[in-house]
Amino acid sequence: MDEIKKALSEADPFASWWPFILAGVVFVIGTVRTYMGGQPCPNGNTIPDRVIVVTGAAGGIGREVCRELARRKAGCLVLACRDTEQGDALRELLRREAPDCTCEVQVLDLRSFDSVRRFVRQVQTLHPTVDALVNCAGVIFQPGGRTADGYEPHLQCNFLSHFLLTQLLRPQLLRSQHGGRVVNVSAHGYTAAKIADREDPLNVRQLATSGRDAFAHSKLAIVLASRVLARRLKAEGHQTTVNCCSPGLVRGTGHLRHSPIMKALFAKVLTFPWMWLFMKSPAQGAHTIVRLVTDPALASCNGDFFNDCERVEVSELAKDDELAERLYQASLSAVGLCETMAKEHTKGKKE
């Protein structure tokens, strides 16, 4: 030990370039990680008494959204989960981290419209008002086939079921004294989406599509339909807002669990350093969603797309209002609603 101490005290750090090289490498890695982590949520305000519904609550990003909202003193979080065991584990964690926040676990399987309707009935029974709805659940590289309702799985899980959920919860959202906010989680990948036939904006007549293409299309559908709903609510004089966001590229979640490449151990090992360096953590991925739910400065922000906590322009295809209208109408009929039904439903429940 004495020898080591002596050697260290006599060591001359300027005798070699290595300490400088090492410090440079650490600095570059730190800078890259900070930059890739994105901008943190700029506000830290609390949201007491608010009732917030989060889908995909037990997943990587959804879980961090719930933890942050609970820390910010949300009144009640409705944790929409497919697997109640995961939901119960999250509720237990939140009970320890934020004892003042009430958490409810409710079953929701987005592969089934019946499950969405059952979930909505539960929420409506317990909560006359919902202050925010975070549509965070999502899948990619799902095995092909059709859901029991007859739709491509990405389209139904990522988009159609959330669309139905939002339409059915409209009365509760409109009652919110804080305006009511819908936050739809999309992805950068929406820019790669293609709609070959404008008469078929949901691509239901498209036969073979890869998981990646189906994911991109479902995320574009989210952006298009959100813009239409935002316009509709504004035109009807409501305060409720609808915005979309991308969480960025986030490591350490279950998102790629069905990816054929990422199932291989060698791919996991090879990509780990790159993911660690260039991708966000789930908590960093949650920042934009948390800002959209909590920031009072965004109370009148409607129909926009956010990335890294900032509003960004959407692609030309996502700005196509005529296509968006077609897609919105096709989505209403796909989930068994029509414009007047959605409106009447809203009016009836408001009175």
Ligand X SMILES: NC(=O)c1ccc[n+]([C@@H]2O[C@H](COP(=O)([O-])OP(=O)(O)OC[C@H]3O[C@@H](n4cnc5c(N)ncnc54)[C@H](OP(=O)(O)O)[C@@H]3O)[C@@H](O)[C@H]2O)c1
| Residues within the interface to ligand X (CB under 6 A) | 56, 58-62, 82-83, 108-111, 136-139, 157, 185, 187, 246-247, 249-250, 253-255
Q: Which is nearer to ligand X, 219 or 326 (CB)?
A: 219
Strands 181-185 vs 241-246: parallel, antiparallel or unpaired: parallel
CB 135, min distance to ligand X, A:
8
CB 257, min distance to ligand X, A:
6
Q: Which is nearer to ligand X, 54 or 330 (CB)?
A: 54
CB 286, min distance to ligand X, A:
9
CB 236, min distance to ligand X, A:
28
C-beta of residue 63 within 8 angstroms of C-beta of residue 289: no
| The 51-55 sheet, strands edge to edge | 102-107, 76-81, 51-55, 132-135, 181-185, 241-246, 305-307, 310-312
Q: Which is nearer to ligand X, 61 or 224 (CB)?
A: 61
- Closest residue by Cα to residue 169 from 129, 199, 202: 129
183 forms bridges with which residues in the sheet? Answer: 134, 243
**Phi, psi (rounded to 5 degrees) for 118:** -65, -45
Strands 305-307 vs 132-135: parallel, antiparallel or unpaired: unpaired
Q: Which is nearer to ligand X, 59 or 171 (CB)?
A: 59
Q: Which is nearer to ligand X, 129 or 278 (CB)?
A: 278
Please provide the distance, in angstroms rounded to a whole number, between the alpha carbons at the two ends of the chain: 80
Strands 310-312 vs 305-307: parallel, antiparallel or unpaired: antiparallel
**Phi, psi (rounded to 5 degrees) for 7:** -60, -40
CB 140, min distance to ligand X, A:
6
Three-class SS state of 15: helix
Q: Which is nearer to ligand X, 130 or 136 (CB)?
A: 136
CB 133, min distance to ligand X, A:
14
